[in-house]
Amino acid sequence: MGKLLPDYSATEIEDRYRALLKANRPRDAAAGRTLDGPHLSDLAVSHAGKGIPAAQASTGEQKALLIRLVLAHAGLIKEMTGFAPLLLLDEIVAHLDPARRAALYDALASLGAQVWMTGADPAAFDDIVGRAQVFVVHPGAVEPAKPN
């Protein structure tokens, strides 16, 4: 389907994909999975500012690109439904410098979503202790973080 993008409208591609899925239901049922679809496509991401593929960007830049994709998708969900999705972000601030962490926290606040973030470094969350509920997890115990 991705190869059709330059020549067909999104609506035409959606119609073709629906027809393909319908025609292939018996084959997919026999296989126990869908044999055609976006799960077979690769997502090519580029760092526009540097004009390089994401694979050539630094670890922090790659993490920032991925976060932008997640936030863009969450924003689209909110725009389409009127409700921001619940976000579960594991080790989200790992590899982010303080400026990117601050930008992330501001973007999450403006999204208006309920967000659960985890991280191994409690200090990385120091900047949001005053504006979010922060908890420290120890073996067998969960307690609110104490403001610095």
Mean per-residue pLDDT over the chain, rounded: 90
Residue 32, pLDDT above cutoff 90: yes
What digits encode the pLDDT tens for the residues 107-123?
999 999 999 999 988 88
**H or E segment to which residue 89 belongs:** strand 87-89
CA 130/CA 73 separation, integer angstroms: 27
Q: 3-state DSSP call for residue 91?
A: coil
**H or E segment to which residue 136 belongs:** strand 135-138
What are the structural domain ranges in the chain?
1-41, 58-144
pTM for this predicted structure? 0.70
- Are the C-beta atoms of 46 and 74 separated by less than 8 Å? no
